[in-house]
Structure 1
C-alpha cells in the first residue's frame, strides 16, 4: 500500500483516518467546553472551522491549478468529514447552554443534527431555540453552500480528469 492512497489497498489508511476522527469526536473531552467556558468554546469552534476551511480552499485551488502533488481524492473527503465533526462538536457543546436546543442531548444527537442540516432534511425533532444555536446553524448552512459545495465540485472535477486521463491512456490517444 502506498502512503499516497493509490494502488491496491490504498483505501485502508483514509478509512482508518476517518474512523479515528469519528472515535476522537466521541472520546474527546468536549464537556470541558460549554456554558462554563464560553470564550474557550467559541475560540476552539471558530479556530477549528477556520483551519478546515483554509485546508479545503488549498485543496480546491490545487485542483483548479491541476497540481499533481496532491491527493484531493483522499484529502477532500477527510476534510469534509472533519467539518461535519467540528460542527457536531460545536452543537453538542452549545446544547449544554440552557435554552439553546430542544432535543439535542448527546454527541450522537449533535452528529445527527449536523447531518440533517447538511442534507437539508430538517426533521424538526431537534430545534435550535436560542440565538447562538440559530447562529451556528446559519453558519453551517453558509459553510455547506460555500466550502463543502466547492470542495465537492473540485473533487468531482478531479475524478473526472483522472478518469479521462485513464481512458486516453488505454486508447493510446
Structure 2
C-alpha cells in the first residue's frame, strides 16, 4: 500500500503557528487585577516565559558556534520572536490596565502589541512609552532580549549562507 500522507514544506510548518500565537494573544482573558500581587505575578510569568525563549536562542547560538548539526531554522526564530513580542505585549497591557502610572498610551491589546513590535524593531515612535519604574524595567529587559535575538538571527543567517 502506498503512503498517501502529504508532507508539508518545512517553511509552512514553521509559519503556520504564527497566526495561532496572535489569536491566543487576543483571546487570553485579562481583567484589571484586584491587587498589586496579580501584577507582580503577571510580570514574573512574563520574565519566566522570556527566559525560556532566551534560553532556547542562546542554546542554538552556542550550537551554531560549536558546529552542532541540529540547529533551529530562521522560521523557528521568527516564531520565537513572535512569542516573545506577544509575551511582552501581555505584560505591558496588564500593567496598563492595572495602573495608569506605568504605561502611557496603551488602551487596548493592539496598542500593547504595537508598542512591543516597535520596541523589538527599535523604531520607537514615542507615542506609547513606559513611565513607571516597573514598565521601564520591563522595556529594558525587552531591548536586551532583542539584542540577543538579533545576534542569534545574524549568526544563523550567516551559517545558512556559508552552508549554501
| TM-score between both structures, scaled by the size of structure 2 | 0.84
2:138 and 2:49 mapped to 1: Cα distance?
Answer: 14
Task: Flag the 1:87–1:123 CA change in 2: closer, same or farther, 3 A.
Answer: same
2:33 and 2:63 mapped to 1: Cα distance?
Answer: 35
| TM-score between both structures, scaled by the size of structure 1 | 0.80
Task: Flag the 1:28–1:73 CA change in 2: closer, same or farther, 3 A.
Answer: same
1:153 and 1:105 mapped to 2: Cα distance?
Answer: 34
> Residue 95 of structure 1: SS of its match in structure 2?
helix
1:138 and 1:71 mapped to 2: Cα distance?
Answer: 26
1:10 corresponds to: 10
Count of residue pairs the alignment pairs up:
157
**Structure 2: which 5+ residue stretches go unaligned?**
1-5
2:91 corresponds to: 90
**Structure 1: which 5+ residue stretches go unaligned?**
3-7, 164-173
1:45 corresponds to: 46
The one-character-per-residue Cα deviations of 1:140-165 (angstroms, maximum 9, x if unpaired) are 112212x21222222212321232xx
The one-character-per-residue Cα deviations of 1:87-111 (angstroms, maximum 9, x if unpaired) are 1111111112221112101111111
CA contact (8 A) 2:93 2:112 kept: yes
1:27 corresponds to: 27
The one-character-per-residue Cα deviations of 1:98-131 (angstroms, maximum 9, x if unpaired) are 2111210111111100111122222121121111
2:159 corresponds to: 158
Task: Flag the 1:35–1:107 CA change in 2: closer, same or farther, 3 A.
Answer: farther
1:32 and 1:40 mapped to 2: Cα distance?
Answer: 13
1:158 and 1:35 mapped to 2: Cα distance?
Answer: 48
CA contact (8 A) 1:33 1:41 kept: no
Is structure 2 residue 143 aligned with structure 1 residue 141? yes
Segments ≥4 residues shifted beyond 6 Å: none
1:80 and 1:63 mapped to 2: Cα distance?
Answer: 18
Task: Flag the 1:73–1:119 CA change in 2: closer, same or farther, 3 A.
Answer: closer
Task: Flag the 1:130–1:50 CA change in 2: closer, same or farther, 3 A.
Answer: same
1:32 and 1:24 mapped to 2: Cα distance?
Answer: 19
